[in-house]
A and B are shown apart, each in its own frame.
Chain A
Amino acid sequence: MTSTSAPVWHYRTPKQTLLRWLGWFSLVALTVFSWQLMNENTIWAFVSDAPEQAADIGDRMFPPAWGYTGQLWQPLWDTINIATLGTLLGVLFAVPVAFLAASNTTPSTRFVRPLALLVIVASRSINSLIWALLLVAIIGPGLLAGIIAIGLRSIGFVAKLLYEAIEEIDTSQVEAVRATGASGAQVIDYAIVPQILPAFWGISVFRWDINIRESTILGLVGAGGLGIQLNASLATLAWNQVAMIFVVILFTVVVSEWVSAKVRQAVI
């Protein structure tokens, strides 16, 4: 008996193996190509002295300017307001959009639903900082631009998650309420809303948490909050003030994450 006669087991057919290797090879080739294209204009002298720069900046950052905290309360309050009012604004618009986008509640799958999905995609693909950049140019610097920017970005996020929740509801409850002779609005009020309410609060609080993070930097383009102080400190190279702002941001983010986790635990 020779050992060659037994067929050797392979996980994949030769064609599959070849395809996989080709796939991996093209990914690597593309990455190397991108790397070279990206670094055409990179000045490697700046990159190689980065450790010294880092040490220098780190040196200037410590100790953080603790006395600077007094000037940060007002911007912090503004930041929280931008995030909260922006989330409210976003949710206000997101709810109708979600009902129009969900395939089981939309009035027309051919015309209204694609439009609602387009609104969601447009809002989702543009970061709130870019919205803020546009709005500051249009309505001037200040909190209002920040609130609207956060609101516009939140519409897509909240509406997308909410319409997915609406599509996953239990249809038997809808049928039961409809069987009592309820109108369309009553069906939504009594059969759909109670089912999606926990998801709704969970999504809103989750987005609020993200918005707190995002609103800390909106001031970089002039939309109010901590970012304005950050921009001013960066412009004057006051790295110890920058460090202090980072501490405040980190603290705010940790607290907001804790709050949102608690609320989501209570609701879901």
Chain B
Amino acid sequence: MAVQSYPGRWKRPPVLLTNPFWRRAIYTGALVYLVLALQSVEIDWQRVWLGLDRGWKFIEGFLVPDFTTRWRDIREGLVESLTMTLTSTVAGILVSVPIGIGAARNLAPAPIYLVCRSIITLSRSFQEVIIAILLVAMFGFGPFAGFLTLSFATIGFLSKLLAEDIEECDRSQIEAIRATGAGWWQVVNYAVQPQVMPRLVGLSLYRLDINFRESAVIGIVGAGGIGATLNTAIDRYEYDSAGAILIIIIAIVLVVEYSSSWIRRWVQ
């Protein structure tokens, strides 16, 4: 009887990219790209070296933040950011609920579906900052332009997720309500709304969180809010005030995140 030879070594097979040709091709391509990309980065080491001093000052400013000197500016920016966040989220929800229903294939007829889907695509394809640039040019500087920007961005986000949720609804409940002779409105009210409501609340709270974070950014292009204050602080090299603003932003994001998870548990 011949002794069967077993391989003495075991080599782990690759988890992804099991085809050896494609594996080699992709690895080589990635390597070539990496070399080309790294060559395009020009680093002025002297400038970086000079900047380290400033970086250290910023870290110091973060550790010993200065809330008091610019408190008036910070407060104004914060009030703008917070009011902008709340009003734009509410306005965004009010607009995105009908659009979301219109973009659900099982509720809306084809022409309305297409219109609503294109509104969603339009709203999702551009960055908030780009929309803010355009709206600031049209509506002038200040939080009103920011409010419009955030509402517009909210529509793309909420309607898309709401439409997907409506499409995944339990069909049997819709059929049951329809079998009682209910009209379209009654189907939406009694069969669809109870199924999507918890998720809608969750998504709205999540968007509130995102809108606050974005409100800190669009101020840089003139749409009001804490971002404008932060931009000014950095332009003036007041890193201790900038550190204070960043700490406030992080703290508010944390508070919003925790309270939204608390509200979601309470609602559902």
Instruction: List A residues at the B interface (Cβ < 8 Å).
Output: 27, 30-31, 34-35, 37-39, 41-43, 46-47, 50, 53-54, 57, 77-78, 81, 84-85, 121-122, 124-127, 129-130, 133-134, 137-140, 142-144, 147, 190, 194, 197-198, 201, 213-214, 216-217, 220-221, 234, 246, 249-250, 253-254, 267
Contacts and interface: CB of A to CB of B under 8 A. Distances in A.
B83 interface: yes
A267 B227 CA distance: 38
Interface string B107-120: 00000000000000
Contact of A137 (B54, B133, B147): B54
A250 B42 contact: no
Given A78-B40, A125-B254, A253-B125, 10 more contacts: A34-B86, A46-B140, A53-B137, A84-B37, A129-B217, A137-B54, A144-B48, A194-B15, A217-B127, A254-B125
Contacts of B44: 140, 142
B144 A144 contact: no
A225 B87 CA distance: 33
B242 interface: yes
Contact of B144 (A47, A78, A137, A213): A47
Contacts of B16: 197-198, 201, 267
A130 B230 contact: yes
A133 B47 contact: no
B144 A42 contact: yes
Contacts of A121: 250, 253-254
Contacts of A57: 134, 137-138
User: Which 6 pairs show the lowest CB-CB distances between chains A and B?
Assistant: A46-B140, A125-B253, A34-B83, A38-B83, A140-B47, A139-B51
B147 to A, nearest CB: 7
B126 A250 contact: yes
Contacts of B90: 27, 31
B250 A38 contact: no
Given A57-B137, A253-B125, A134 B242 contact: yes
Contacts of A84: 33, 37
Interface in B18-49: 33, 37-38, 40-44, 47-48
Contacts of A254: 125
A50 B139 contact: yes
B79 interface: yes
Interface residues of B, number: 59
19 contacts: A35-B87, A38-B80, A38-B83, A38-B84, A38-B143, A50-B138, A50-B139, A53-B139, A54-B138, A57-B137, A57-B138, A134-B58, A137-B54, A137-B234, A138-B54, A216-B130, A217-B127, A217-B130, A234-B133
Contacts of A122: 250
Contacts of B250: 121-122, 125-126
A220 B41 CA distance: 18
B15 A250 contact: no
Contacts of A220: 129, 220-221
A84 B231 CA distance: 26
Contacts of A27: 90
Interface of B: 12, 15-16, 33, 37-38, 40-44, 47-48, 50-52, 54-55, 58, 79-80, 82-84, 86-87, 90, 125-127, 129-130, 133-134, 137-140, 142-144, 147, 213-214, 216-217, 220-221, 227, 230-231, 234, 237, 242, 246, 249-250, 253-254
Contacts of A214: 127
Given A34-B82, A35-B87, A47 B139 contact: yes
A38 B42 contact: no
Given A46-B140, A134-B242, A138-B51, A127 B147 contact: no
Contact of A47 (B83, B140, B253): B140
Given A38-B143, A129-B220, A130-B216, A140 B51 contact: yes
Contacts of A134: 58, 234, 242
Contacts of A42: 142-144
A243 to B, nearest CB: 11
A221 B220 contact: yes
B138 A85 contact: no
Contacts of A190: 12
A85 B41 contact: yes
A121 to B, nearest CB: 6
A42 B48 CA distance: 41
Contacts of B246: 126, 130
Contacts of A142: 42-44
A38 B129 CA distance: 20
Contacts of B41: 81, 85, 143-144, 147
B216 A127 contact: yes
A28 to B, nearest CB: 9
